[in-house]
Amino acid sequence: MQYLISVIDHRTASATDDEMAAIGTFNEQLVADGHWVFAGGLSAPSDATVIDGRGDGPPIFTDGPFLESKEYLAGFWVFEAPDLDVALKLAGAASKACNRRLEVRPFL
């Protein structure tokens, strides 16, 4: 079972050196324990482009995010975990490592 761990922030690429080091150590442990799937930081929503290809014509491209909000998805992990308790425990350690609030959601 995989879980998406969203990093909630109002800035992007804002981690300090200490935070980056803590994230690195945490990620190594994730790999060692078999929970690692993927992780990455995202650039700011202002860099986003929304694409709408639902109509008959060519896709329409729009500058900006699909949702304006003060806080947004600044990065994410994908964990492999047998159940929510394990995912929550890992997310607790992840939140401490990156010093940000996180949201956990299961993949279908």
Whichever of 98 and 104 has its CB closer to other proteins, that residue is: 104
How far is it, in rounded angstroms, from Cα 71 to Cα 1? 27
Q: Which is nearer to other proteins, 64 or 106 (CB)?
A: 106
Tell whether residue 92 is a contact of other proteins (CB under 8 A).
no
Considering only residues 48 through 87, tell me which ones interact with other proteins, judged by CB under 8 A.
82-85
Residue 48 beta carbon to other proteins: minimum distance, rounded to whole angstroms: 27
| Cβ(23)–Cβ(100) below 8 Å | no
Two tokens, residue 24 = 């690195």
Q: Which tokens hold the place of 82?
A: 């047998």
With CB under 8 A, what is the number of residues at the site for other proteins? 10
Site string for other proteins, 1-40 (x = CB under 8 A): x---------------------------------------
Q: Quick check: 102 and 94 in contact, CB under 8 A? A: yes
Choose between 20 and 84: whose C-beta lies nearer to other proteins: 84
How many degrees, rounded to 5, is the angle at CA 93 between CA 21 and CA 20? Answer: 15
C-alpha closest to that of 39 among 63, 9, 4, 1: 4
- Residues of this chain that interact with other proteins (CB under 8 A) are 1, 82-85, 88, 104-106, 108
